[in-house]
Amino acid sequence: MSHVAVSFETPEYVANADGTGTLRILEAVRLLGLTDKTRVYQASTSELYGKVQEIPQTEKTPFYPRSPYAVAKMYAYWITVNYREAYNMFACNGILFNHESPVRGETFVTRKITRAAAKIALGLQDKLYLGNLDAKRDWGHAKDYVRMMWMILQADEPEDWVIATGKTTSVRDFVKMAFGYLGVELRFEGEGIDEVGIIDSVDTKRLNELNLNPKSSNLNPGNIVVAVDPRYFRPTEVDLLIGDPTKAKEKLGWEPQYTLNELVDEMMASDLKLMKKDEYLKDGGYTIMNYFE
């Protein structure tokens, strides 16, 4: 269970799956006598930092979890450390900051944005509704992070590691980057729940390059394509995350290979391709499913 907002609706389930679930795996290794030949990677998270106590966040920054998900993950973190110390188990926490890709679940904010931007470009959707546009995240490419998971398990000693890019970007700026891929410049106006994203300009040459038809798309200057829906606000929010991956770089030689721009471009290209299938079906007279968070 990895969705922070959903964890407020299912707090007991997340404690069981993400907290006690980790204990069950560690116990299985111990009780089966597999400690000497097993290496355990615990998918820890930057959500542990929550209401951040230090900027940027390192392996030494104190935790302040802000959701049932993060509290359950806090148990998972410490039980992993405890089994390492108590039973000499090769058990590690990878404290991964947000990592994204074209196969990210559609209810996480990056994918929700790239899918919607692609649908708006194809005339299949009018508007994208989001929650907190000010939230800032340290977004990296999942491929870089999964490579690091593997490196953590090959290390000489079991340790805990921060995996991050060291850069932070707001949700609002991520939206601008996604529309930027389409040759569209957005401007934001208004405040709080009245804030909207309006199309400032459209580069028709870029639309042609992408084989998008300006007439059937919803990309027209003046169109409101982003609005705020308070249903997506969280009872307690994590406002700012930015990690310091110095330890991983220096001790394991990890270097991320993707920039955020490359990640956004890859996600946009993939979602345009995916949504073109919907366009094809719609043109053929079929009903297009609407996907909502």
Ligand X SMILES: Nc1nc2c(ncn2[C@@H]2O[C@H](COP(=O)(O)OP(=O)(O)O[C@H]3O[C@H](CO)[C@@H](O)[C@H](O)[C@@H]3O)[C@@H](O)[C@H]2O)c(=O)[nH]1
- Residues forming the active site: 45, 47, 69
| CB-nearer residue toward ligand X: 47 or 266 | 47
Rounded to a whole number of angstroms, the minimum distance from the CB of residue 167 to ligand X is: 15
Nearer Cβ to ligand X (232/258): 232
- The nearer residue to ligand X, 48 or 122, going by C-beta atoms, is 48
Q: Which residues of the shown chain bind ligand X in the complex (CB under 6 A)? A: 2, 4-5, 45-47, 96-98, 107-109, 112, 130-132, 135, 137, 171, 232, 234, 237-238, 293
Nearest alpha-carbon partner for 52 in 44, 63, 41, 37: 63
Shortest Å distance, C-beta 139 to ligand X: 9
Give pairs for 227-230: CB < 8 Å, separation 24+: 227/127, 227/128, 227/129, 227/130, 227/195, 227/196, 227/197, 228/129, 228/130, 228/131, 228/133, 228/192, 228/193, 228/194, 228/195, 228/196, 229/129, 229/130, 229/131, 230/131, 230/193
Q: What is the rounded CA–CA span in Å between residue 133 and residue 135?
A: 6
Q: How far is the CB of 253 from ligand X (least distance, A)?
A: 22
Q: Quote the least distance from Cβ 54 to ligand X, whole Å.
A: 17
**Closest CB to ligand X among residues 149, 210:** 149
Residue 103: half-sphere exposure toward Cβ, Cα within 13 Å: 2
CA distance linking residue 251 with residue 75, whole number of Å: 26
By C-beta, is 27 or 134 nearer to ligand X? 134
Closest to 98 in 3D by CA, of 150, 53, 152, 135: 135
C-beta of 270: minimal distance to ligand X in Å?
17
